[in-house]
Structure 1
Amino acid sequence: MRILIYNEGRDEKIKPEVLQVYPDGIGAILADIIRELPDYELLDILSMYDIEEKLTDEILEMTDVLLYWSHGGNKQFLDELAQRIQSHVLRGMGFVVLHSAIGCKAFKSLMGTTCSIHYRHDDFERMTCCNPQHPIAAGLPLHIELEKEESYGEFIDVPKPDDILYLGWFDSGEVCRSVMTWNRGYGKVVFLQPGHETNPSYHNPLIQQLIRNSCTWATRTFHLPNLPTDFHQDPSLQANL
C-alpha cells in the first residue's frame, strides 16, 4: 500500500498551540499512524509550501491512498492541483479526507456540493458505530469517546453517502455523520470528522486504528492507465470506456 500524505502545514506556523499537541506537526503523527500498517510505503509528506512542485501526475499515479489534512489554506489551494487529485481518484486512487479537509477543493469537486458544516470548539464527543460489519469498523468498539474535539453539526452539505460508519454526538447537543464513504469513479473516498489541530485526537489509539482501517479499505484496487488526467471532462473519452 503506497500512501501519500498531504498536511497543509500552515497551522503549525501560525498557531504555537498546535505544536504543543503535535510537536513534529500533524503530518508526522499521520506518518507514525500508518507505520503500524503491515505492508505500506510512505511516498512523501507534502505541504502547501512544496505542493506545486511535488504533487505531480507521476506521484499520484504511484499513490494507492492520499491521506489529506488541511484547514485555513483550503481556498488558496490551486484549482489545477485539486482537479489533478479529483482525476486520479476517478481513476482508482483512494482519498481519505480528515477533519477540516472537508472544505478542500478536491473533496468538494468530488462531492459536487458546498460541504459546509456547523462547528464549535473543544467539546466532548461520543462516536457511535452504526455499521459494525464494515471493514473500516473492524476491531473497533461500538463507542469511541474523545474528551475534547471540535464539534461538527448537521446539516453537513454532502451527497448521500454510500455508507455511514459512525455518528458523532457532542455535549453541546450537536450531532453529525462523523465517518462516511463514497465511491467516485474507480476510487473510494472516506471522510473522518475527528482531528482538530489543537485537540489530541490523533494520539487516541482508536482514532489511529480508524485511520489505518480507512486507508486499507480505500486503497487502490483498480488502475485506469494511459488516459489524460482530464478524461472525465471529455465526453468522447468517456464514451470509449
Structure 2
Amino acid sequence: MDVSLADGRRIPGPEAGLGRNLTYGLLDLLGKRIVTGAYETTGFPTEAELSEQQGVSRSVTREAVKMLTAKGLLTARPRQGTSVQPSACWNLFDPDVLRWMLERKVTAQLLEQFNQLRNAIEPGAAALAARTGDPAGLAGIEAAFARMEAAEAGQETYAHHEALEADIGFHLSILRASGNPFFMQFRDVVATALRTSIRMTRNISGKVFDLAAHEAVMQAILRGDADGAFAAMSAIIGEVSRIMEQEKAA
C-alpha cells in the first residue's frame, strides 16, 4: 500500500517493487518463449489468458507485453489482438533479445553473422581512434590492454570469465576512443558477439585471446596509423572466421 504524506505526495509501498519484479520476470519468461518459437503454432495468448496462466495482475501482464512490443517481438492490431512478429522485426541490438537468442541456441550461422557485424564496425572504429582519439580515450585503450597483459602473465588471479571480460573491455575501449557516439551504440551487441565467439574459439584454440595481435592494434592506434589499426583489427576478426571455418570443415 502507498503511504500518503502531509503535502499530498505518495511513497510507493513494497507492492510497487514487487510489481516491477513480477513484470520483469514475466518479460523474461515470455521473451524466451517467443524467441524459442513456443507460440508458432498456438498463437500468442491474450492478456487475460496470460494473467490467469501466470497468476499475475492484468497491469503486470499489460506492462510486460508493452515492453515486448517495444523490443519488436510483438505487435498489436485492432480486432486482431497481439501476435508475434517475424524475427526480422526484432530489435537485435536490445540486450534482452540478444540474450534470449543465445539462450535458445548458438548456431554456426549466428556466430558468422556476429563476426560479419564485428568486421563492419570494429576496424573502422580502430581507424577512427587512431585518427581522432583524445588522450583520455587512448589512455583507456592502454589500461584495457594492461588488464589483458596481467591476465596473460598471471599477475592477477584471472579465471576464464575474467580474462574474457578483459578482452571485451579492450574492444569496447576502442569503440569509446573513436569518439563517435554511434559506434558506442553497438557496445552491447559487440560485447555479446565477442563473448559468444571467444567461448567457441577458446574451446578450439585453447586460449581466450592473442595478446600480440591486440598489441598490434593498440600500437597502431597510439602512433596514429589509421590504416595499420584497421588492418590489425581486421586480422583479429579474420582469425576468428578462420577458426570457425576450420571447425565447420572438421
Q: Normalization by structure 1: what TM-score?
A: 0.24
Structure number with higher strand proportion: 1
Largest Rg, 1 or 2 = 2
Q: Normalization by structure 2: what TM-score?
A: 0.23
Structure number with higher helix proportion: 2
RCO comparison, higher one (Cα < 8 Å, 6+) = 1
